[in-house]
Amino acid sequence: MTTAIDLGREGTVVDAIKKLKTKIFGLPDFGPRYIPMRDANSKYETSYLNILNLTDIRACVRQVILTVGKPLHTASGPRQLVIALRDALFGLRNLYRLGYVHRDVSSGNTYITEPMQGFHILRDGGLGKETHASSGMAGDFDLCIGRDDKDRQIHSHRTGTLPFMAIDLLSSLQLPYHSPIHDMESVMWVLVWVVGHKNVDVAGDEPNPQDVKLCDDMSVANMTMDLVAHRKRSLLHILQRLTSRRSGNLEPFRNLLVEGFNLVDRYVTRSEDRTSEEQTFSDEEVEEAFTAYLDVFEKNIPVETDWSHVKGGP
C-alpha cells in the first residue's frame, strides 16, 4: 500500500528507518517513493526523484509501505488485538531508541499485521542480534519529533487524536512536553476504544448497556480539553477498580485494564508532581515505563481467540 508523506518531519523518520536496511519489529517496512502528481504550473517531469530536492514545485509525494496493516477493529478476538497492541508498543520503543517520539497514537494508526520477522533496536541505537515475529505495528509518523530536539515543547498546540490523548496533555495549563510515556497511555485508551466499540458491534441490535456507556464515555465530540481530561480521570478510576462481577464483556481484558491503568495513574501523578525544571521524563524513566507497560501486556494476553464471550443486553 502507499501513503502520502511530507518530506520534512515524517520523511526524516522514514529515512531513519530505511537507513537500517532491515525490518524493525513493530514498525512498517518501507519501499520507494514516487510522485503521482505535480503542480500544473511546474515544468518538471514527475518520473525523476531528483525533483524532490527542488523548492519551486509542489508535489504529492507517495511512500510505498511494504507491510500490510489491518485496522484493529478487524481483530479475530481479544488475543489477536492485545498481541497487536503489545507489538505496536515495541514499535514505539524501537522508534524512541531510533531517536523519535510518535505523538499521535490512535486507533487509526495502530495496525494488525501478518507475523513478520524484525529486529529490535537496542538502547544504544544498534540492532539486536536476532529477529522476532511481530503481529502489530505503529504507523503514520507525520507528527513525530526528535526526542532530543530543542523544539520538543509544543509551542502552539497539543498533538494527538483527542479520544486517545494522555490526561497530562489534556489538563496541563502550560503547553507540555510530549513524552513517549504519553504515547504509552494512549495505547491503553486505544484498547478501551476498540474493545468498547467491538463489543457493541458484535452484540448487534441489543448491545450490553455497559458497553454502550463505555463508548459514550470515550466519545469526546464538541468537548473542551478540560472536560475530556475530567471524563478520562473518572473512567480511569473505574477501570482501575474493575472486578470480575462488574467487568461484563470486558472480562478477557480485565487484568490488563486494571494493571495498565494503574500504570497510567502512576505516571499521571508523577507528571503532576514534577517541578518546572523537570519538564519531561528522563531517558531512564522512559525506558522504565516501556518495560513496565510491555510487562503488563505480556502477562495479560487473553486466551480468547474470538468474540463469542460477548453478550448483549437484557
Chunk the chain into consecutive blocks of 10 residues (it has 314) and report each block's average pLDDT, rounded to whole numbers. Answer: 59 84 93 61 44 48 81 98 98 96 94 95 93 95 80 49 89 75 97 97 94 93 86 96 93 98 95 68 95 98 97 81
Give the separation between CA 310 and CA 173, rounded to whole angstroms. Answer: 40
Tell me if residue 44 falls in helix, strand or coil. Answer: coil
Contact by Cβ (8 Å): 113, 84: yes
Domains of the chain: 2-65 (no CATH), 71-299 (1.10.510.10)
Looking at residue 161, its pLDDT comes to 79
Cell of 164: 486517545
Phi, psi of 168 (to 5 degrees): -60, -40
How many whole angstroms separate alpha carbon 227 and alpha carbon 203? 30
What single-letter DSSP state applies at residue 53? G
Cross-strand pairs, 117: 133
Q: How far apart are the first and last CA of the chain?
A: 43
Specify the pLDDT at position 12: 81
With contact defined as beta carbons under 8 Å apart, do 64 and 32 qualify?
Answer: yes
In angstroms, rounded to a whole number, what is the distance separating the alpha carbons of residues 65 and 32?
A: 8
For 205, how many CA atoms within 13 A lie in the half-sphere containing its CB? 0
* Cα–Cα dist 60/56, whole Å: 14
Quote the pLDDT of residue 23: 95
The confidence score (pLDDT) of residue 220 equals 84
Taking the C-alpha atoms of 115, 119, 120 and 124 in order, what is their torsion angle to the nearest 10 degrees?
Answer: -170
Whole-number pLDDT of residue 154: 45
Q: How many CA atoms lie within 13 A of 105 on its CB side?
A: 29
Q: Give the number of other Cβ atoms within 10 Å of residue 88's Cβ.
A: 31
- In 69-208, which residue ranges form alpha helices assigned H by DSSP? 78-98, 167-171, 180-203
Q: What is the reported pLDDT for 156? A: 43
Provide the pLDDT for residue 147. Answer: 84
Closest CA to 11 of 59, 45, 79, 46: 59
H or E element in which residue 233 lies = helix 225-240
| 59 contact partners, CB below 8 Å, separation of at least 6 | 35, 37, 38, 39, 42, 46, 51, 52
- The predicted pLDDT at position 96 comes to 97
Contact 290, 185 (CB under 8 A): no
